[in-house]
Amino acid sequence: MLTQVAEGVLVHQSELLANNAVAVEGRAGVLLVDPGLTDDEMTCLANDLRELGQPVVAGFATHPDWDHVLWHPELGEAPRYGTARCAEFMRDLRSNPDWKARAAEGLPPEIADETPLDLFGLVTGLPAGAEEIPWDGPRVRVIEHPAHAPGHAALLVEERGVLVAGDMLSDVFVPMLDDVDGTRDPVEDYLAGLQALERVADDVDVVVPGHGSPGGAGQTRARIERDRAYLEALRAGRAPDDPRLDSPPPGWEWVRDIHEGQARSVAQRNQREG
């Protein structure tokens, strides 16, 4: 089911992981961001858009995590964009003969047989430093930053006051660090990402996270501050005072496990660096 969060901006949420696919209406159809997760859900999304007379004319993947680079034949053959680094990451993955098996290993077992992978990760990279999506619709700014995953980007739909945050500013997930590249500090990278989003916060009336509930006026800055407080506690080795850990929604208690793993990783990094 599509829910309108602002004029010309619709959200479709998955049952598992509360992923938000975002459709931005343009002149000839919609820009579709991060559709997912299962065959039935993406078919439902395609049908809902058809009923509205809104074909998909462009797609965008905010980052290369499996649940943000999915696609379905029912959504059509529109160009699908991502940052240059996101597209490079997916090209490297798909260049392996066993890429589909590798991708399938990362799927939650509950939906592993229901998630189509044939069109997985077919993303065209925007030119490095590109500032907007090339499409026939309202200006959509690309805000690339180093937090969470390689080539992560948020999108600002300027005329609608909507920030599509990717895997940032969630009310159910704590900040999830990209700890793959040991040469970088994942906490500092995430803080830099929050700074990038903070620079546009005054232009935002609605924030749509990759997972969880959209937030209204004032929520962008509130969520940035909550994530910053979490990261500062993590770096200092303190227990965060965070409702996503202290009183998670039913079924989301496992987010504590993510936090505990990150706390150990950050503590070990701090110890190595003295």
- pLDDT tens digits along 86-126: 999 999 999 999 999 999 999 999 999 999 999 999 999 99
* Percent share of the chain, pLDDT over 70: 98
**pLDDT tens digits, 164-215:** 999 999 999 999 999 766 668 999 999 999 999 999 999 999 999 999 999 9
Q: What is the mean pLDDT of residues 155-171?
A: 98
Sheet strand arrangement including 9-13: 2-6, 9-13, 20-25, 30-33, 56-60, 80-82, 124-125
Q: How many domains does the chain have?
A: 1
DSSP H or E run through 4:
strand 2-6
CATH code of the domain covering residue 143: 3.60.15.10
Domain-located, residue 248: no
User: 229 lies in which domain range?
Assistant: 2-233
Domain-located, residue 25: yes
Report helix angle 219-236 to 186-198, nearest 10. 160
Domain-located, residue 270: no
Domain-located, residue 204: yes
Contact 64, 149 (CB under 8 A): yes
Q: Let me know if 88 is exposed, middle or buried by CB neighbors in 10 A (0-12, 13-18, 19+).
A: middle
Q: The pTM is what?
A: 0.96
Domain-located, residue 188: yes
Is the pLDDT higher at 174 or at 269?
A: 174
Compute the distance between CA of residue 144 and CA of residue 161 in angstroms, rounded to an integer: 18
CB-based contacts of 166, cutoff 8 Å, min separation 6: 34, 62, 63, 68, 148, 152, 153, 154, 209, 210
From the CA atom positions of the chain, what is the Rg in Å? Answer: 18
Domain-located, residue 212: yes
Output the pLDDT for position 249.
Answer: 94
Nearest to 45 by CA among 17, 79, 10: 10
Query: Which range (49-53, 127-131, 153-157) has the least confidence?
Result: 127-131
